[in-house]
Amino acid sequence: MLENWLMPQLNEDSNDYIFQQDGSLAHYKDVRGYLNRNLPQRWIGRTGKEHDALTQWPPRYPDLTQCDFFFWGFVKDTVFVPPLPTNL
């Protein structure tokens, strides 16, 4: 999905962005390699010294997960607009 859909969409819209990798163990090895090759110094995430990330990001650190604070709050405010239905 990252290689075939997301990156072409991002590059089509703009080349001025920084990618935040979530640090999930399932994505740890393969995704970091892809990001090192395709977005050197343009991604942040859980890294080691051998990686070419813009900055290191603490793994699963809830105070720094911007999507949790902005995106999910935005979704909740958009979906749960009063008056809520009383039946399904």
Express each pLDDT in 59-84 by its tens digit. 666 555 556 666 777 777 888 877 77
What's the total number of domains in the chain?
1
Please, are residues 54 and 18 in contact by the beta-carbon 8 Å criterion? yes
State the residue for tokens 């990686």: 51
Residue 61 lies in a domain: yes
Helix (H), strand (E) at residue 10: helix 7-13
Other beta carbons within 10 Å of 63:
7
Residue 41 lies in a domain: yes
Residue 27 lies in a domain: yes
Residue 9 lies in a domain: no
Residue 76 lies in a domain: no
Residue 40 lies in a domain: yes
Q: Which residues contact 20 (CB under 8 A, 6 or more apart)?
A: 43, 44, 45, 57, 66
Q: How far is CA 50 from CA 26, 29, 33, 56, 83, in A?
A: 19, 12, 10, 12, 53
pTM of the model: 0.56
Residue 36 lies in a domain: yes
Note down the domain range covering 40: 18-69
Residue 87 lies in a domain: no
d(CA 3, CA 57): 22
Express each pLDDT in 17-63 by its tens digit. 888 777 667 767 788 888 888 888 888 877 766 677 777 766 666 55
